[in-house]
């Protein structure tokens, strides 16, 4: 079954600290993996995208890693800020030939950054 | 102005009522999508459209219908709303490269 599981479900950290969010997937065949940030009351916004051949991608203080062999990804947030408080969603694209690849969404990790 | 807009942002309705959620985009994308988001669940695809003449069912299309009136407009209808359709609904667009751009969402409560 094609699934995307994220951990932890929720996380509280102090401002300025680092954290790492995990994503494990069983999606096959794999096309790509994205991390989205969803602020409360807003739609998700793409942070990073990685294909099979990429094992790390950065976007400012956000760094995503991908291990396609173990089917695991992580999102590392450095020097957290209050504005990082949000839900972080891992999305894996299942390959159907390109035009109609199917996106499978994780349930998200809810991050709260406290002052 | 936002690239993807949704109206209304919040809606309360009663069981059995017909309602329509509207989505407009200014990104010029051909592909548009409707999702619902429930607490503790990942986003689930309801319907998607790759151009004006193309409509496709997603994972959970039962009880919903859509209309693609133009490249920029994609509407979602609940013909007879029921309480388990209470959820957060998102419209999204993409240009075929799979990154999706989401609207702000419509919070729907069915009593």
Q: Is A82 left (phi over 0), alpha (psi -120 to 50) or beta?
A: alpha
Q: Who contacts B46 (Cβ-Cβ below 8 Å, separation ≥6)? A: B34, B35, B36, B58, B59, B60, B61, B64, B66, B76, B89
Helix H segments across A13-107? Answer: none
pLDDT at A56: 95
Omega of the bond leading into B101 within 30 degrees of 0 (cis): no
Which of A89, A103, A109, A110 to mutate against chain B (most B CBs within 10 Å)? A103
Alpha carbon separation from B28 to A47, A80, B33 (Å, rounded):
21, 35, 14
pLDDT in tens, B2-54: 699 999 999 999 999 999 999 999 999 999 999 999 988 889 999 999 999 89
Of B42, B50, B99, the CB nearest to A46: B99
Extract the runs of DSSP E, i.e. beta strands, from chain B: 4-7, 10-13, 19-25, 31-37, 44-51, 54-57, 64-70, 73-78, 87-94, 101-102, 106-110
- Residue A100 pLDDT grade (very low, low, confident, very high; cuts 50, 70, 90): low
Q: How far apart are CA A20 and CA A112, in angstroms?
A: 13
Omega of the bond leading into A29 within 30 degrees of 0 (cis): yes
pLDDT in tens, B51-104: 998 999 998 999 999 999 999 999 999 999 999 999 999 999 998 767 889 999
pLDDT at B97: 67
pLDDT at A110: 96
Measured between beta carbons, the chain B residues lying within 8 angstroms of A32 are 98
Q: How far apart are CA B83 and CA B28, in angstroms?
A: 35
pLDDT in tens, A14-53: 999 999 999 999 998 888 999 999 998 889 999 999 988 8
Of B42, B98, B104, the CB nearest to A107: B42
pLDDT in tens, A59-89: 999 999 999 999 999 999 999 999 999 999 9
């Amino acid at each position: 079954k094609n699934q995307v599981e994220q951990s932890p479900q929720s996380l509280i950290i102090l401002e300025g600290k680092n954290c790492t969010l995990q994503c494990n997937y069983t999606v096959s065949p794999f096309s790509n993996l994205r991390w989205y940030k969803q602020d409360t009351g807003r739609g998700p916004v793409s942070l990073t995208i990685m294909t099979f051949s990429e094992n790390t991608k950065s976007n400012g203080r956000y760094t995503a890693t991908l291990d396609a062999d173990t089917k695991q990804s992580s999102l590392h947030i450095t020097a957290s800020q209050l504005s990082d408080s949000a839900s972080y969603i891992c999305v894996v694209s299942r390959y159907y030939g390109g035009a109609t690849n199917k996106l499978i969404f994780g349930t998200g990790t809810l991050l709260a950054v406290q002052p | 102005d936002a690239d993807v807009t949704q109206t209304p942002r919040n809606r309360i309705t009663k069981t059995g009522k017909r309602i329509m959620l509207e989505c407009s985009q200014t990104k010029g994308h051909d592909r548009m999508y409707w999702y619902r988001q429930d607490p503790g669940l990942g986003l689930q695809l309801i319907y998607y459209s790759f151009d004006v003449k193309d409509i496709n069912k997603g994972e959970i299309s039962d009880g919903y219908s859509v209309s693609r009136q133009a490249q920029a407009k994609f509407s979602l209808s609940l013909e007879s709303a029921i309480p388990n359709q209470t959820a957060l609904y998102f419209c999204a667009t993409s240009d075929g490269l799979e990154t999706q751009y989401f609207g702000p969402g419509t919070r729907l409560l069915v009593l």
